[in-house]
A and B are shown apart, each in its own frame.
Chain A
Amino acid sequence: MYRYDEFDHAFVTDRVAQFRDQVARRLSGELAEDAFKPLRLMNGVYLQLHAYMLRVAIPYGTLSSRQMRMLAHVARKYDRGYGHFTTRQNIQFNWPKLSEIPDALAELASVEMHAIQTSGNCIRNVTADHFAGAAADEAADPRPYAEILRQWSSVHPEFSFLPRKFKIAVTGAERDRAAIQVHDIGLHLKKNEQGAIGFAVYVGGGQGRTPMVAKKICDFLPEADLLSYVTAIIRVYNLHGRRDNKYKARIKILVHETGTEELTRQVEAEFAELKNTELKLPDADIQAIAAYFAPPALAPRAEGWASLAGWKKADPEFARWVRQNVQPHRHPDYGMVTISLKPIGGIPGDATDAQMEAVADIAEEYAFDEIRVSHEQNLILPHVALADLEPVYRALVAAGLATANAGLITDIIACPGLDYCALANARSIPVAQEISNRFGSPERQAEIGELKIKISGCINACGHHHVGHIGLLGVEKKGEELYQITLGGSGDENTSIGEIIGRGFEPSKVTDAIEVIVDTYLGLRTDPSETFLAAYRRVGPQPFKEALYGGAAEAA
């Protein structure tokens, strides 16, 4: 893992002191709200419906046990004993007191964590494949490059006041688990025919009220040119992005209005100026950062194969969990474990302080002290020996964290929605809970197979509904909640934006509607290996429209 150097420590410590002074001046009345608000946002502090909210950055979703324990401590001491893991691989605390937030930030700084750039019109937390450094299909670990981007973008003077927020994601595998095509910049790390490392660069993807799939503007960017090329893109955006209209200010609109070809020309022109400047990454620097991310020494543990077979035979629940939540590691004696934060009927992404500590303990004992947060709001133990899966599972069961549903219909992404969020129009969490309860039986989930439901409580789409195989968007209509359903979205290497299927559903009817959609799929799939998404792409929306609305489908 990356460790702060002296500069990082001083930078974060100074920032805490600066914010402590700003909070003190706000509380004394010396600073007015209008002056203070942008300052608190730059430090991850929002005002939500019930209280302030503190969003803490988890760079590329990677955490140590020590850091996870600190998150548990913050949840307990400064909040109400829980936290909410988000689709940007961050964590949010829902109830901190403004007067205590500087103390919380000081404690976080002691374990190399902060809340800088988790809000505001700047470059946000860079996200990455949650299986980085462990996945069998990876060309290279994306995290060193995400860390380079983090260092470069932190308080970047030119890019601290962009037209709008800016999100970058990096993946190192053909199979995209980081949803790079719905990011402002998506980077696909790969090797060319000569074995050199570089990036395919995607620009202008995003969700929100105008969902767009990113355009590929470069097929192979040598790694040394990463910062100069990204600078060129953001410089073009900073210059030409629309500041006149908040809803048209993201780079996706600039790409759309300018045209991909012209925008690429502008980026290339800027890149030509920057290419051989100090932004060129020396190989030694890349290697120095990459060294922090060296994989742990994975000793052969071949005895795990026999043990695993025996455990699976003895305990069908364990076998189900392994089948669903353990993915092959590039080392054959190891696996990548998904810790579901989606208990049946629970709140997607929430974890209590005790659960965070349990995960920290397990990671320390069995998983080389490494934890990831996935953008699907689960936790990951990237390196677990097959020989240790049984004790890991037992410990997760004891903590209420062994739900065997990764990638299944109850593994739902949901934003906080109107239960917490000041921007929301409708609730997300109760909808997720009801769907989870309806489809919660293991047999039914297994029969349905891979199906990603994503729920947003407003058009800002924090719940990624546009790329849900089934997406739900909560709106307010005549003072009541209503849920629009989209079908066929996907956030992987074949990204697509879901299509609105018809008029929306009231809260009391939305789970029934999901059931109709699922039953329709089960009735028309060619065989159980045809996933919901594949079936939808084959047959299109019509069978689902007919099942939901009869002949009377109409736009919501």
Chain B
Amino acid sequence: MAEKVLTANRLTDGISVWLDAAGNWNESLQAAFVARHKEAVEALEATGKQAFADNKVVDVNVVDVEEVDGVLRPLRMRERIRAEGPSIPYAAGYAGLTVIRSAAA
């Protein structure tokens, strides 16, 4: 089974977040709690549903990741870009990250 994490966007500002092991919504994918078996995934789904119902987050999804050398990497590019930010430097002072490009190479 692919490893899975729970992700969403925070209601108040829309920023992408991931559920960590302490049950908090963290802005870093690397802090995410990783579900490695069916029961854990079900727990993630239930947590996501509740957080949505509690109006903490929107657009809640369980996504596939892999762990390479201790670093979590979503399998889909869309999720990699969500985790890393735009793959391009944009405007002054907001350099985009290069992880996507190097991962794709």
Taking A479-B77, A480-B77, A481-B77 as contacts, is the C-beta distance between A27 and B12 under 8 angstroms? yes
Interface positions, chain B 53-79, Cβ under 8 Å from A, are: 54-55, 58-59, 75-78
Q: Does A222 contact B (CB under 8 A)?
A: no
Q: Is the CB of B92 within 8 A of A479?
A: no
- Which residue of chain A has the shortest Cβ distance to B82 in the bound complex? A49
Partner of B88, one of A47, A347, A352, A354: A347
Q: Which residues of B contact A81 (CB under 8 A)?
A: 91-94
Q: Is the CB of B91 within 8 A of A51?
A: no
Q: Does A509 contact B (CB under 8 A)?
A: no
Taking A49-B81, A98-B11 as contacts, is the C-beta distance between A479 and B76 under 8 angstroms? yes
Q: Is the CB of A51 within 8 A of B15?
A: yes
A-B contacts counted at CB < 8 A amount to 88
Interface residues on chain B, size class: 20 to 34
Complex Cα distance A47/B55, Å? 15
CB B60 to nearest CB in A, in angstroms, measures 10
Q: Is the CB of A352 within 8 A of B13?
A: no
Q: Is the CB of B86 within 8 A of A50?
A: yes
Q: Is the CB of A418 within 8 A of B77?
A: yes
Q: Which residues of A contact B90 (CB under 8 A)?
A: 80, 82, 347, 350
Q: Is the CB of B13 within 8 A of A97?
A: yes
CB B41 to nearest CB in A, in angstroms, measures 20
Q: Is the CB of B12 within 8 A of A352?
A: no
Q: Is the CB of B13 within 8 A of A98?
A: yes
Interface positions, chain A 88-103, Cβ under 8 Å from B, are: 96-99
Q: Is the CB of B86 within 8 A of A419?
A: yes
Complex Cα distance A476/B92, Å? 30
CB A416 to nearest CB in B, in angstroms, measures 9
CB B29 to nearest CB in A, in angstroms, measures 12
Q: Which residues of B contact A27 (CB under 8 A)?
A: 11-12, 55
Complex Cα distance A350/B92, Å? 11
Complex Cα distance A27/B82, Å? 23
Q: Is the CB of A80 within 8 A of B16?
A: no
Q: Is the CB of A47 within 8 A of B58?
A: yes
Q: Which residues of B contact A29 (CB under 8 A)?
A: 54-55
Complex Cα distance A302/B14, Å? 54
Q: Is the CB of A51 within 8 A of B77?
A: no
Q: Is the CB of B87 within 8 A of A419?
A: yes
Q: Which residues of A contact B77 (CB under 8 A)?
A: 418, 476, 479-481
Q: Does A505 contact B (CB under 8 A)?
A: no
CB B78 to nearest CB in A, in angstroms, measures 6
Q: Is the CB of A433 within 8 A of B92?
A: no
CB A246 to nearest CB in B, in angstroms, measures 19
CB B92 to nearest CB in A, in angstroms, measures 6
Q: Does A427 contact B (CB under 8 A)?
A: yes
- Which residue of chain A has the shortest Cβ distance to B53 in the bound complex? A32
Complex Cα distance A394/B84, Å? 38
Interface hub of B55, B76, B94 (most chain A Cβ within 10 A): B55
Q: Does A72 contact B (CB under 8 A)?
A: no
